[in-house]
Homo-oligomer: A and B are copies of this chain.
Amino acid sequence: MELNILEPYLWEPDKYLRNVAVDNVIFGYHDKELKVLLQKPIVLEKWTVTGGYILKTESIEDAADRIAFSRTGLKNLFFQQFRSFGNPERTVDSGFNARRINELTNAQMPDDCWIFDYFVSIGFYTLTEFSAVELKKAEIETDCAWWTVNDLPPLMFDHKLLIAEALKALRLHIAHYPIGYELLPGKFTIPEIHSLYETILGRQLDIRNFLRRLLATEIIEKLNETKSIGGHRSPFLYKFNKPKYDEGLENGVLLSF
């Protein structure tokens, strides 16, 4: 049942900060679809964003990274803080309360035990290439799956809002900074990066105007190779110019589509 999301915290509470956690909205892109990684206690019908508590020895960024790694097995993903969430009502529908615990475990916890206080969630989002991920269902009772952002299951806590805000932040980010290094193979085609942008923004982008502006940023370089895709003309391959890309991440690049 749903308590598993708190288990490490319950086993070794002294290793973690109290009343504060990291929730990491892991976005996966693959084959023109934008998905989000969710987990679910098998016996419940509500899902959650991947999240966890913060070790006293790590930063909130370390925690976000560790949480992403624990589910995807990937390190050095691009991630970004977007907003924090905290109000006494945010966990009320979670079923996590003294009455429930006492029913389920024959414990005798008082209602005002600190563990039932609400916690503040620091929201991050992470970008990853979908097909590179081998989902880790660490706990046997937890289901873990990709869901398309336009068709989400019922979500626990305020996680529907959390995902909506993460997506909003991602779409704002993409208008001011380059994106794609973590989401595309080392060599990619124009149609591929074009689809990536269309998918993340959720709307069509005129390819001529898109390309004009993308090339103006100089973050991609044309290679002298083409990719055979069968049946018709082969597109040229491109790669990111990493120094320009990183400079764009630092100082901003206007790609306001």
Q: Which A residues are within 8 Å of any B CB, using their own CB?
A: 14, 17-20, 54, 56-62, 81, 83-88, 114, 117-120, 122
Docked-complex contact A17 and B120, CB < 8 angstroms = yes
Q: Which of B17, B56, B81, B83 contacts A20 (CB 8 A)?
A: B17
Q: With A19-B20, A120-B54 as given contacts, are A86 and B114 in contact (CB-CB < 8 Å)? A: no
Chain B positions within 8 Å of A119 at CB level = 17
| A interface majority secondary structure | mixed
Chain B positions within 8 Å of A88 at CB level = 56-59
In the bound complex, how far is the Cα of B17 from the Cα of A117, in angstroms? Answer: 8
Chain B positions within 8 Å of A84 at CB level = 60, 81, 84, 122
* Closest partner residue, chain B, to A59 (CB atom): B87
In the bound complex, how far is the Cα of B82 from the Cα of A83, in angstroms? Answer: 7
Chain B positions within 8 Å of A20 at CB level = 17, 19-20, 86, 120
* 8 closest cross-chain pairs (CB), A and B: A59-B87, A60-B86, A17-B19, A18-B18, A20-B20, A84-B122, A20-B120, A18-B19
The winner among A56, A118, A120 for most chain B CB atoms within 10 A is A120
In the bound complex, how far is the Cα of B19 from the Cα of A119, in angstroms? Answer: 10
Docked-complex contact B86 and A54, CB < 8 angstroms = yes
Chain B positions within 8 Å of A19 at CB level = 17-20
Docked-complex contact A60 and B81, CB < 8 angstroms = no
* Closest partner residue, chain B, to A57 (CB atom): B88
Q: Which of B14, B56, B83 contacts A118 (CB 8 A)?
A: B56
Docked-complex contact A60 and B120, CB < 8 angstroms = yes
* Closest partner residue, chain B, to A17 (CB atom): B19
What are 18 residue pairs bridging A and B, where the CB atoms are less than 8 Å apart in the complex? A14-B114, A17-B20, A17-B86, A18-B19, A19-B19, A20-B20, A54-B86, A54-B120, A56-B88, A56-B118, A58-B87, A58-B88, A59-B86, A60-B120, A62-B87, A81-B83, A81-B84, A84-B84
Minimum distance in angstroms from A255 CB to a CB of chain B = 15
Chain B positions within 8 Å of A54 at CB level = 86, 120
In the bound complex, how far is the Cα of B117 from the Cα of A114, in angstroms? Answer: 17
Minimum distance in angstroms from A112 CB to a CB of chain B = 8
